């Protein structure tokens, strides 16, 4: 922890020189012997060993010219409580992570303590309508992705294909062509980078190239077209109004501000749904919903117009976000009679710990670009999230697709946001608010959380929290996000994000042979009931990994142990909407549909998700892409 705080390559002087005044360090070192027992600065208590280590480390790094802070600033940080109880805290974070209670996003896991030191997963990069800006965006994407971050870009400011280019008197190549350029950059970077670079490409629905954009991945058969891009159409309220009222919808050239043509919104909507039905791309982002409760809007001078690659993190340009996800399954305990219950108090405690972890991560992070460093620190956005939802519900014996399941999702998310804010207010008292706080709508007692405006569903004292916020402010502009947790849920050995599990049993082929992978909670239940056998595993695996309709499996187990394909798409949307209700940011969720779902179903899903306050939607119809990451036996 400490080395990260002090270590910064970017301040390394080109001539290898540094101007740091080391007299204070020398003073502390020379007088060190006087500090017998414990040394204390403000609230910060250190034993001699730790103090020596800190000062030596400071000196060593300062001599190499790699210091981010002066010794005075460093001591000031100590006094302000930046390292309060650091020994016990380090141990506690170690215990929470190795105990699989929470995991930070992959970049934090792989880059911390290393020279890159880049800890965030989510970024948004601006792209303006000129070649300088386009190539700068390509550069920015490269710098972010080489250290494992994902980037979102809204291409809507680019003039449409065929439009006039002044400098050459030629014709513009349009947003889709530049998306291919960024895709090529990601392709090259991923060879030497930390992990596959992911992008979100966005085009707003009024752009003249919107139809080309919708079809941009039409030829995709797995991973051959724009393979480093998820694409999403950004929709604003006026489009829905035109659709509802049967009016024509204008497409506007962003360069001139002029209307280029009018289209029938119904047929565009149809095309959009058809492409999503056939190719799982594009998704849709509801910008008006994202900005409806956006308390940062006055501070940033406008709405949010982009998200990170998987859609869970709406961000301003050059903002970034660190995520960490809490494993809900770990909070299911059993009483004396062996009945499961959820330990809400411990959960509340861990949420505050994780919020603190992420808040500190902003300060120790070595951001890939100075613009990102600057903008991230203006809003100090953090993404406390959750994973292991499906496993927790299995343990609690609650079906994912039930009113009880949705109520649990709401409560788990309400706690997440409430206690993340609770930390953030406490931190504001000690360390100050995020710099743009004064210009935000928090000051008026508003929160960027829909659930807050529905008193009838509160489980927690939001009135009191808001009073505290109005009095002391908050340290973090936004606090909660539910990412897919593609890698970190595997490390935590739990179900991913907020999704139901993909299959209860599936066959895995490895060099030494084939074996069945069985969900651990399901395995325990089968064994408890004396149902465990090779035959039943084969039967479930042959049944697409599902127990629905298998007579050997008791009815109550069939209700609880559902897979993503067992859950109807309407219930997938309800789950997403219930979780969205209490998040400041958004959630990554796939709305799974069976292979025989229709384009009409996709359209209905979009409208329903919009009406229910989701911030976007991604539909995946089974089999619509020929390459899937996992596949279950029954599909082959
Ligand atoms: N991400 C990325 N490349 C990847 C996976 C993820 O850039 O291969 C970014 C992207 O912004 C995504 C975010 O990380 O939205 C979180 O994804 P996930 O939760 O799956 O990441 P994990 O921390 O589990 O690796």
Query: DSSP readout, 95-144?
Result: HHHHTTSEEE-HHHHHHTTSSS-----EEE----SSHHHHHHHHHHHHHH
Q: Which of 223-237, 257-271, 498-512 has the lowest mean pLDDT?
A: 498-512
Cα(600)–Cα(454) distance, integer angstroms: 31
Which whole number is the average pLDDT over 454-461? 97
Average pLDDT along the chain: 88
Q: Is the separation of the CB atoms in 234 and 204 below 8 Å?
A: yes
* Greatest mean pLDDT range, 219-228, 359-368, 541-550: 541-550
Single out the residue of 360, 353, 301 nearest to residue 326, CA to CA. Answer: 353
Protein residue with its CA nearest to atom 21 in ligand 1? 485
- What's the confidence (pLDDT) of residue 290? 98
Write the CB contacts of 167 (distance below 8 Å, at least 6 apart in sequence). none
Torsion 290-431-472-435 (CA) sign: negative
Q: Give the pLDDT confidence of 423-437 residue by residue, as tens digits.
A: 999 999 988 999 999
* R_g over Cα of the chain: 26
- The confidence score (pLDDT) of residue 633 equals 46
Give the C-alpha separation, 57 to 48, whole Å.
14
Atom index in ligand 1 nearest the CA of residue 497 equals: 19
Are 484 and 588 a contacting pair, CB within 8 Å? yes
Distance 381 CA to ligand 1 centre (A): 17
Atom of ligand 1 nearest to the CA of 588: 15
Output the CA 150–ligand 1 centroid distance in Å.
7
Domains and CATH numbers, the chain: 2-84 (no CATH), 92-502+564-636 (3.20.70.20)
Ligand 1, atom nearest to 149 Cα:
7
Q: How far apart are the C-alpha atoms of 277 and 16, rounded to whole Å?
A: 57
Catalytic positions are 308, 310, 312
Does residue 36 register a pLDDT over 60?
Answer: no
- Of 124, 186, 310, 361, the one to substitute when testing ligand 1's pocket (max ligand atoms within 8 A of C-beta) is 310
- Is the pLDDT at 445 greater than 80? The verdict is yes
More confident residue, 548 or 110: 548
584 with 478: CB under 8 angstroms? yes
Within 8 A by CB and 6+ apart from 218, the residues are 225, 275, 279
- Determine the atom of ligand 1 nearest the C-alpha atom of 104: 23
- The verdict on the CB of residue 174 being under 6 Å from ligand 1 is no
> What pLDDT does residue 114 have?
79
Q: Give the list of residues 6+ apart from residue 626 with CB closer than 8 angstroms, or none.
A: 221, 222
Residue 385: name the closest of 490, 498, 474, 465 by CA: 498
Residue with tokens 């501070």: 299
For the stretch 134-159, pLDDT in tens is: 999 999 999 999 989 999 999 999 99
**Ligand 1 centroid distance, CA of 121 (Å):** 6
Compute, in angstroms, the gap from residue 578 CA to the centroid of ligand 1.
Answer: 23
Is residue 97 classed exposed, middle or buried when 0-12, 13-18 and 19+ CB atoms within 10 A define those classes? middle
Q: Looking at ligand 1, which atom is closest to the CA of residue 312?
A: 15
Q: 224 exposed, middle or buried (CB, 10 Å; 0-12, 13-18, 19+)?
A: exposed
Distances from the Cα of 182 to the Cα of 187, 225, 371, angstroms: 9, 13, 19
Burial class from Cβ neighbours inside 10 Å (0-12, 13-18, 19+) for residue 189 reads buried
Q: Is the beta carbon of 314 within 6 A of some atom in ligand 1?
A: no
Atom of ligand 1 nearest to the CA of 150: 7
Q: What is the reported pLDDT for 60?
A: 67
Instruction: Report pLDDT for 9.
Output: 33
285 in Cβ contact with 202 (< 8 Å): yes
Q: How would residue 464 be classed by pLDDT, with cut points 50, 70 and 90? A: very high
SS3 call for 260: strand
User: What is the pLDDT confidence band of residue 277, given thresholds at 50, 70 and 90?
Assistant: very high
| Each residue's pLDDT tens digit, 352-391 | 999 999 999 998 899 999 999 999 999 999 999 999 999 9
Which range has the top average pLDDT, 84-98, 158-172, 191-205? 158-172
Strand (E) or helix (H) holding 403: helix 403-431
* Both structure tokens of 51: 């103090």
- Cα 308 to averaged position of ligand 1 atoms, centre (Å): 9
The Cα–Cα gap between 339 and 389 comes to 18
Q: Is residue 539 in contact with ligand 1, taking CB distance under 6 Å? A: no
Q: Which of 100, 104, 105 to mutate to test the pocket of ligand 1 (most atoms within 8 A of CB)?
A: 105
Q: Tell me, rounded to whole angstroms, the distance of Cα 411 from its chain centroid.
A: 20
Task: In whole angstroms, give the CA distance from residue 209 to residue 271.
Answer: 14
Is 31 or 412 the better-scoring residue by pLDDT?
412
Q: Residue 484: is it exposed, middle or buried by C-beta count within 10 angstroms (0-12/13-18/19+)?
A: buried
CA of 484 to the centre of ligand 1 (A): 7
Res 29 pLDDT > 60: no
The answer, yes or no, to whether any atom of ligand 1 lies below 6 A from the CB of 431, is no
Predicted confidence band of residue 62 (pLDDT cuts 50, 70, 90): low
pLDDT greater at residue 509 or residue 537? 537
> Is the shortest distance between the CB of 488 and ligand 1 below 6 Å?
yes
613 lines ligand 1 (CB under 6 A): no
98-121: b (≥16 Cβ within 10 Å) or e: eebbbbbbbbbebbbeeebbbbbb
Task: Give the pLDDT band (50/70/90) at residue 53.
Answer: low
Q: Which atom of ligand 1 is nearest to the CA of 490?
A: 24
Structure tokens at 80: 């302000």
Check residue 84 and give its pLDDT: 59
Average pLDDT over residues 512-527: 90
Span 15-43, mean pLDDT? 46
Confidence of residue 37 (pLDDT cuts 50, 70, 90): very low
Which whole number is the average pLDDT over 54-74?
65
Among protein residues, the one with the nearest Cα to ligand 1's atom 23 is 105
Q: How far is the CA of 351 from the centre of ligand 1 (A)?
A: 21
Ligand 1 atom closest to residue 310's alpha carbon, by position in its atom list: 15
Smallest CA separation from ligand 1 atom 1, residue: 150
Residue whose CB lies within 8 A of the most ligand 1 atoms, among 118, 229, 232, 483, for a mutation test: 483
- Band the pLDDT of 43: cuts 50, 70, 90: very low
CA of 109 to the centre of ligand 1 (A): 12
Q: Does 193 contact ligand 1 (Cβ within 6 A)?
A: no
Structure token pair of residue 468? 């505290």
Kindly report each contact of residues 341-344 with a partner whose C-beta sits within 8 Å and lies 24 or more positions away, as own/partner.
341/396, 342/392, 342/396, 342/408, 344/415
Query: Looking at ligand 1, which residue's alpha carbon is closest to its atom 14?
Result: 121
- Distance (Å, whole) CA 467 – CA 270: 47
| Cβ 24 under 6 angstroms from ligand 1 | no
Percent of the chain with pLDDT over 70: 84
Using CA atoms, how far residue 610 sits from 200, 286, 603, in Å, is 20, 7, 11
CA–centroid distance, 55 to ligand 1, in Å, is 36
Check: CB of residue 373 under 8 Å from CB of residue 423.
no
Pocket-testing residue among 146, 148, 309, ligand 1, by greatest number of atoms within 8 A of Cβ? 309
Percent of the chain with pLDDT over 90: 75
Distance 243 CA to ligand 1 centre (A): 34
Best of 109, 121, 307 for a ligand 1 pocket test (most atoms within 8 Å of beta carbon): 121
Give pLDDT, residue 191.
Answer: 64
391 CB-near residues (< 8 Å, 6+ apart): 328, 329, 494, 495, 501, 519, 520, 521
Three-point CA angle 274, 279, 283, nearest 5°: 75
Mean pLDDT value of segment 410-427: 98
486 lines ligand 1 (CB under 6 A): yes
Burial of 530 (0-12, 13-18, 19+ CB in 10 A): exposed
Ligand 1 midpoint to CA 106 (Å): 7
Sign (positive or negative) of CA dihedral 574, 578, 584, 588: negative
**Ligand 1 atom closest to Cα of 109?**
23
- Higher pLDDT: 52 or 564? It is 564
Angle between helical axes of 23-30 and 71-79 (0-180°, round to 10): 60
């Amino acid at each position: 922890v400490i080395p990260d705080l002090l270590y910064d390559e970017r301040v390394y002087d080109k001539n290898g020189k540094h101007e740091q005044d080391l007299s204070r360090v020398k003073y502390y070192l020379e007088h060190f012997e006087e500090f017998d027992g414990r040394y204390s600065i403000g609230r910060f208590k250190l034993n001699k060993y730790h103090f020596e280590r800190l000062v030596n480390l400071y000196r060593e790094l300062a001599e190499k010219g790699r210091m981010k802070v002066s010794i005075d600033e460093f001591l000031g940080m100590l006094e302000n409580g930046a390292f309060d109880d650091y020994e016990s805290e380090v141990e506690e974070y170690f215990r929470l992570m190795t105990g699989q209670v929470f995991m930070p996003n992959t970049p934090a896991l792989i880059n911390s303590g290393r020279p890159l030191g880049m800890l965030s997963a989510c970024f948004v990069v601006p792209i303006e309508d000129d070649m300088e800006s386009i190539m700068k965006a390509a550069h920015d994407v490269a710098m972010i992705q080489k250290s494992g971050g994902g980037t979102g870009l809204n291409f809507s400011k680019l003039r449409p294909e065929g439009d006039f280019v002044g400098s050459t008197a030629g014709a513009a190549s349009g947003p889709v062509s530049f998306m291919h350029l960024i895709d090529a950059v990601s392709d090259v970077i991923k060879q030497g980078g930390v992990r596959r670079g992911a992008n979100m490409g966005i085009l707003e629905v009024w752009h003249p190239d919107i139809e080309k954009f919708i079809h941009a991945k039409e030829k995709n058969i797995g991973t051959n077209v724009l393979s480093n891009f998820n694409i999403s159409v950004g929709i604003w309220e006026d489009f829905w109004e035109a659709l509802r009222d049967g009016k024509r919808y204008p497409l506007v050239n962003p360069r001139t501000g002029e209307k280029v043509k009018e289209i029938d919104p119904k047929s565009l909507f149809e095309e959009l749904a058809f492409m999503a039905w056939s190719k799982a791309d594009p998704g849709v982002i509801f910008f008006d919903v994202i900005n409806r409760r956006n308390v940062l809007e006055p501070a940033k001078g406008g709405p949010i117009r982009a998200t990170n690659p998987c859609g869970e993190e709406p961000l301003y340009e050059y903002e970034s976000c660190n995520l960490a996800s809490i494993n809900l399954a770990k909070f299911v305990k059993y009483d004396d009679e062996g009945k499961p219950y959820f330990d809400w108090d411990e959960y509340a405690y861990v949420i505050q710990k994780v919020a603190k972890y992420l808040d500190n991560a902003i300060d120790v992070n070595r951001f890939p670009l100075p613009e990102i460093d600057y903008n991230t620190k203006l809003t100090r956005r953090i993404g406390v999230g959750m994973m292991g939802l499906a496993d927790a519900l299995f343990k609690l014996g609650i079906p994912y697709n039930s009113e009880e399941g949705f109520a649990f999702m709401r409560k788990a998310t309400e706690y997440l946001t409430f206690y993340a804010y609770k930390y953030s207010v406490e931190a504001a008292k000690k360390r100050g608010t995020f710099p743009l706080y004064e210009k935000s709508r928090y000051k008026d007692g508003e929160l960027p959380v829909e659930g807050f405006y529905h008193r009838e569903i509160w489980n927690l004292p939001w009135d009191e929290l808001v009073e505290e916020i109005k009095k002391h402010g908050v340290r973090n502009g936004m606090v909660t996000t539910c990412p897919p947790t593609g890698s970190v849920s595997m490390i935590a050995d739990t179900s991913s994000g907020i999704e139901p599990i993909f299959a209860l049993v599936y066959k895995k082929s490895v060099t030494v042979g084939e074996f069945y992978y069985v969900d651990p909670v399901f395995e325990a239940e089968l064994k408890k009931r004396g149902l465990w056998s090779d035959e039943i595993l084969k039967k479930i695996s042959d049944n697409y990994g599902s127990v629905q309709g298998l007579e050997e499996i008791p009815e109550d187990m069939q209700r609880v142990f559902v897979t993503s394909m067992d859950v109807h798409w309407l219930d997938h949307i309800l789950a997403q909407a219930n979780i969205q209700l209490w998040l400041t940011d958004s959630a990554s969720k796939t709305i799974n549909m069976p292979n025989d779902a229709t384009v009409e179903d996709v359209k209905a899903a979009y409208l329903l998700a919009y009406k229910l306050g989701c911030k976007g939607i991604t539909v995946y119809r089974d089999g619509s892409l020929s390459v899937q990451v996992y596949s279950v036996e029954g599909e082959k």
